[in-house]
Structure 1
Amino acid sequence: MYLENYKRFEAIIDKLREFEGAIIVEGARDEASLRKLGVRAEIIKLSRLPLPEVALIASEYDEVMILTDLDRKGEELARKLAWYLEGYGCKVDTETRRELKMIAKKDIKGIEDLYSLYLRVSLRFWPPEEGI
């Protein structure tokens, strides 16, 4: 990852930390990765629930961010979820996922890898001072 993309990546992480709606992810590892990054928003996992039910649960929030994995399956899930959520009148953020995919797809496969990528690139671009 280049420095320019790292700065964009850091901005995404900051956005996730400040997000006050609900975030939809595929599973428990995705949630764990986001929690390690300091995300405090409500996280709704897709695992074991039908998409319409997930959308209904998420529709209780003013804004919903879809963070499915960056592969083809994740893309299809994101598209379907956005359709359901927009039907409920939700404000849906798919842009964060799209931007993350643009800058980090070569580095990660899914949301569960975000925390490890964050650690790797943070050390690469901002190594700790000696003695710390």
Structure 2
Amino acid sequence: MYAENYKRFLELIEKLREFEGALIVEGLRDEVALRNLGVRAEIIRLSRLPLAEIALIASRYREVMILTDFDRKGEELAKKLVSYLEGYPCRVDVETRRELKRIAKKDIKGVEELYGLYMKVVSVSDPQLEGFQ
């Protein structure tokens, strides 16, 4: 990750921590990584149910954040989920995933690696990062 992206990466991690809706992830390791980052929001794992049922469960929340992995499969899942959620009144956030992917794609392939990258970023001794640790 380029040094100029460190601050934005940490802001996105803080956004995840403060998110109060439902987060949709692919599997258990993704959920564990997010919990390690301090995320308290409801986390719905795709590995448990069909996408239509996931969308129905997620639609009960005012906001839903899709946080699938950054690979082709994750991209396809995100698109399908957006399609399934279109008819529901919840607000769907895919932008956070897009921005994380843009910033971190050279370093990680998915959500389960976010915590490790976070630990690397906060260990960098950069005065601009003070207050984000």
Please report the TM-score for the alignment, with normalisation by the length of structure 2: 0.92
CA contact (8 A) 1:21 1:41 kept: yes
How far has the Cα of 1:9 moved from its partner? 0.3
Counterpart code for 2:3: L
Q: d(CA) in 2 for partners of 1:62 and 1:32?
A: 23
The aligned residue for residue 37 of structure 1 is 37
The aligned counterpart of 1:59 is: 59
Structure 1 residues 61 and 69, CA gap change in structure 2 (3 angstroms)? same
Q: 2:130 maps to which residue?
A: none
Match of 2:100 in 1: 100
Deviation per CA, 1:67-95, whole angstroms, max 9, x where unpaired? 00000100010011011112112210000
TM-score (structure 1 length as normaliser): 0.92
Give the CA RMSD over aligned residues. Answer: 1.2
Matched residue count: 127
Per the TM alignment, residue 125 of structure 1 is displaced from its structure 2 partner at its CA by: 3.9
Report the equivalent of 1:8: 8
| Structure 1, unaligned runs of 5 or more | 128-132
Large movers: runs of 4+ above 3 Å: none
The separation in 2 between residues aligned to 1:124 and 1:6, in whole angstroms, is 9
Query: Which digits, 9 at most, give the CA deviation of each residue in 1:108-130, with x for residues without a partner?
Result: 01100000010012112459xxx
Matched residues, percent identical?
Answer: 74
Aligned to 1:70: 70
Equivalent residue of 1:60, what SS? coil
Per the alignment, in what secondary structure is the counterpart of residue 87 of structure 1?
coil
Q: Matched residue of 1:43: which SS?
A: strand
Residues in 2 aligned to 1:24 and 1:125: alpha-carbon distance in whole angstroms: 33
Partners of 2:50 and 2:111 lie apart in 1 by: 20
Instruction: Kindly provide the CA deviation profile for residues 46-66 of structure 1, in whole angstroms up to 9, marking residues without a partner as x.
Output: 003110000000000000000
Query: Secondary structure in 2 aligned to 1:88?
Result: coil
Matched residue of 2:34: which SS? helix
> Any unmatched runs of 5+ in structure 2?
128-133
Supply the distance in 2 between the matched residues of 1:76 and 1:65 (Cα, whole angstroms): 15
- C-alpha distance in 2 between matches for 1:114 and 1:126: 20
SS of the residue 1:39 aligns to: coil
Give the distance between the partners of 1:115 and 1:125, measured in 2 at CA.
Answer: 18
